[in-house]
Structure 1
Amino acid sequence: MRPVRLALVPGEPAGVGPELCVRLAQQPRDHALTVFADARTLQAAAQVLQQPLQLLPFDRSRPAAADAPGTLSLVEIPLPAPPSFGTPDPRNAAAVVRALHAAAAGCLGGTFDGLVTGPVHKAAINEGGIAYTGTTELLARQAGCDVVMMLANDIVRVALVTTHLPLRAVADAITPQALADTLRITHAALCRDFGLADPVIAVLGLNPHAGEAGHLGREELDVIEPALDRLRAQGMRLVGPLPADTAFLPGKLRDFDAVVAMYHDQGLPVLKYSGFEQAVNLTLGLPYPRVAVDHGTALDLAGSGRADPSSLFAAARTCAAIARLRQSV
C-alpha cells in the first residue's frame, strides 16, 4: 500500500497549534503530511522552538511518500493579519475556517486520506462575523452527514449522544432517534475504523443510578431501554443503561469496546482524568477519518515553546492508522 496522505490544520494561529505542528514535523513518520496554513506563522513558531522547518508546496501529482523529519508539504492559506502569540485576531477568522474547508474538501475529493486538526478559538471566529459552533459541526455540514463525537485514549473510548448543550436542554435532546443514530454510527466506526468484528458498547443512563427504576427519572424506562432493545434485536451488543458513577470502574471497562454517554460532562471528565495528554477527538460518521487534539488553544502558552504536543502526535498516529485500515479494505 502507498503511504497515506493526511491533511493537517493548525487551528487558531495565535494559539499553540502552529507550534504543535512544527513539533509534529520533527517526528519520523510513515505517512505524508500536508499542512493548510499561513507559512509565516509556521516559520515564526519554528523560530520560537528553534526547530528546523522546510515548507514544500503541495504537489498533487507527486506520489505520496513519507516526509523527512523537519519538512511539511504546504497548501498556503494566507492570514490577512499577522498573528500575535496569545491574542486571537477576528480578522483571521475567515482564513481559519477556509483552511478547515479546504483540507476537508481535499479529503472528500480523495486527494487526502484523513484530516488532523488543531484547536480553534470559537469566540474569535464568531467575533469575525462567522457563526461557528465547532469544527465537528462544520465538517458534518460540509460532508452532508450525521456524525458522532468520540474522545479516546489507550484506556477508554467515549462517544456522546449530545455535545455542547446547556444541561437543562439535554433531557429533551435524548430522543429514540438521536440515541439510535449515535449507537449505529459508533458501532459502524468501531467495526470499520478500529477493526472490531463484534464490538460491545456500554450505554450510560441519563439520571443518577440510571433512574432507579423510574424513581429518579423516567428517561431510562421510556426512551433509552426501548431504543437499546430495538438495536439489540438487530444484532448490536449493548450493555445498559448503566449508572454512570460505576460504569467506568476498570474491571467493567475491560468488557467494553466503547462507552456511550448521554452528555458532554457525563463521560469526558473520566476520560480526561484517565489520560488527558494522549487523548484524541474523533468525528465518527464522516466519509474520511478526522482526528483532533483533545485540548484548547492554550493562549497562555502560545509562543513559549512549552505546549505539550502529545495529543497532536496521538491524533496523527490515530488518523494514519484508521486511514491505512480503510485503505486495506
Structure 2
Amino acid sequence: MTAAPLLLTCGEPAGVAPEITAAAWEALRDEPSSAFLLLGDAQYWRSRNPALSVTEVSDPREATSVFRSALPVLHRPFAAKPAPGKIDPATAPQVIAAIDEAVAMAFAGRIAGIITNPIQKEALYGAGFRHQGHTDYLAHLSARHGRPVQEVMMLVAEGLRAIPVTVHIPLKDVPGALTRQAILAQARVTAKDLRRFFGIERPRLAFTGLNPHAGENGTMGREEIDIIIPALRTLKEEGHDVIGPLPADTAFHPEARASYDAILCMYHDQALIPVKTLDFHGGVNVSLGLPFIRTSPDHGTALAIAGRGIANPKSLIAAIRLAARMAEKAR
C-alpha cells in the first residue's frame, strides 16, 4: 500500500503561501519521501503561480503518484480571490476549516503529518478564532477529537532544538507564569517526543535560567532557586538526563549546543533569538505533544512582499523535510 503523504494547509491566501508552496514543490518534486499535497483552492494557486503545474486529487493517497509531475491539491474553493498582500475577510472561515480538516485527516490516518502555511491571526478573529496561534489551536482540536494534550512549541535550526516554556505573553508576566509544573510538563513531553519522532533514546535536556547569570545564587532573583532547580531535581529523580539552569548568554555557542539534544528556555525570546540567529530563513516550528506530526515555517505571512516573487521558501522546505523524517521515525 502506498504510504500516506504529508499535507500542507493553505494558510493566509493573500500572503506568501502560494509562492513558497510552489517553490517548495519545485525543490522537492524529486524526493518521494517528501511528497505532500496542498489543501486549498487549486485555481487560486494557479492564478498566483501561472507556470505551476497543478493536479486536483480526490484522495490524499493519489498525491504520491502525481507529485513528481504536478502539485497535488485537494481543491477547496475560496469564497474570494484576494490580491497579493490584501487580506479578504471572506477567506478567513476557509483558512480555519483547512486546519480543522487537516487534523481530521490526521486522526483518520489518511495523511502522515501536517505542515501549516502561515496564518494572519487578526484576519481570523472576526471568523471566531480565539487562539494565540496554530499550536494551541491544534491542541484544542486534539481535545475535540477526544485526545487532550500538553502542547509544546519547539523551534529547530542548524541542529538546535529550543523550547520556550512560556510563550506569547508580556515579559513582565513571565515570572508569575513560570512554575515548576510548567517546566515539568514541557520537559516530559519534549523527552517523550524526541524519542518518538527523532529517535533519541535518552534525550539530554538543558535548561536556561530566567535571570542574568542564572540568578547568581539568588543575588539577581530567586526563580532559579525556588522554581527551576526543584523542577530539575524532580526530572532527575524520574530518570531524565538534565543539566542547568545555564546562564542564557553562554548556553548557545557550539560547544554548549553539543552537550544537549534540546534546551528549554524560560521565555519566548530566549529560545527564538538563537534559532533565528543561526538560520533566519531555515528555522522550523514543530508542535510536540500532539497525536500527529505538525511542522511549520518559522515566519509569518509576509504580506508586504506577497506576489513579488522574492519570498524565501527555505523554511517551508525545511519544515516539509523535517515532517518527512519525523514520519519515518514514527513508522
Aligned partners of 2:206 and 2:245 also within 8 Å: yes
When normalised by structure 2's length, the TM-score is: 0.93
Amino acid paired to 2:167: T
> 2:120 corresponds to which residue?
121
Structure 2 Cα separation of the partners of residues 79 and 296 of structure 1: 21
> 2:150 corresponds to which residue?
146
Deviation at 1:64, TM superposition (A): 6.6
> 1:314 corresponds to which residue?
318
> 1:44 corresponds to which residue?
47
Structure 2 Cα separation of the partners of residues 205 and 219 of structure 1: 8
Aligned partners of 1:152 and 1:271 also within 8 Å: yes
Write out per-residue CA displacement over residues 20-41 of structure 1, whole angstroms, 9 at most, x where no aligned residue: 1112222322143221111222
Aligned partners of 2:54 and 2:71 also within 8 Å: yes
Query: The residue matched to 1:300 in structure 2 has which SS?
Result: helix
Percent identity of equivalent pairs: 40
> 1:231 corresponds to which residue?
235
Aligned partners of 1:36 and 1:76 also within 8 Å: yes
Structure 2 Cα separation of the partners of residues 174 and 132 of structure 1: 20
> 2:90 corresponds to which residue?
91
Amino acid paired to 2:243: V
Aligned partners of 2:285 and 2:297 also within 8 Å: yes
Aligned partners of 2:7 and 2:113 also within 8 Å: yes
Alignment of 1:1-329 (within 5 A): 2-26=2-26, 27=28, 28-31=30-33, 32-47=35-50, 51-59=51-59, 62=61, 65=64, 67-144=66-143, 145-327=149-331
Q: Structure 1 residues 204 and 69 mapped into 2: Cα distance closer, same or farther (>3 Å)?
A: same
Aligned partners of 1:160 and 1:263 also within 8 Å: yes
Deviation at 1:176, TM superposition (A): 1.2
Structure 2 Cα separation of the partners of residues 274 and 67 of structure 1: 35
> 2:146 corresponds to which residue?
none
Structure 2 Cα separation of the partners of residues 157 and 196 of structure 1: 13
Aligned partners of 1:3 and 1:66 also within 8 Å: no
Q: Structure 1 residues 132 and 40 mapped into 2: Cα distance closer, same or farther (>3 Å)?
A: farther
Amino acid paired to 2:10: P
Query: The residue matched to 1:183 in structure 2 has which SS?
Result: helix
Structure 1 Cα separation of the partners of residues 251 and 87 of structure 2: 40
Query: The residue matched to 1:283 in structure 2 has which SS?
Result: strand
Structure 2 Cα separation of the partners of residues 66 and 189 of structure 1: 30
Structure 2 Cα separation of the partners of residues 170 and 128 of structure 1: 30
Aligned partners of 2:155 and 2:161 also within 8 Å: yes
Amino acid paired to 1:138: Y
Amino acid paired to 1:278: G
Structure 2 Cα separation of the partners of residues 156 and 141 of structure 1: 28
Query: The residue matched to 1:74 in structure 2 has which SS?
Result: strand
Write out per-residue CA displacement over residues 63-93 of structure 1, whole angstroms, 9 at most, x where no aligned residue: 6735433522222222212111001122211
Structure 1 Cα separation of the partners of residues 39 and 170 of structure 2: 33
Aligned partners of 1:3 and 1:64 also within 8 Å: no
Deviation at 1:4, TM superposition (A): 4.0
Aligned length: 323
Name which of structure 1's ranges 181-190 and 20-29 shifts more when overlaid on structure 2: 20-29
Query: The residue matched to 2:104 in structure 1 has which SS?
Result: helix
Query: The residue matched to 2:153 in structure 1 has which SS?
Result: strand
The Cα RMSD (Å) is 1.6
Q: Which ranges of structure 2 fall in alignment gaps of 5 or more residues?
A: 144-148
Amino acid paired to 2:112: D
Write out per-residue CA displacement over residues 146-199 of structure 1, whole angstroms, 9 at most, x where no aligned residue: 110000012311011111111111111111111100000111111111111111
Query: The residue matched to 1:238 in structure 2 has which SS?
Result: strand
Amino acid paired to 2:218: G
Aligned partners of 2:155 and 2:162 also within 8 Å: yes
Structure 2 Cα separation of the partners of residues 242 and 98 of structure 1: 42
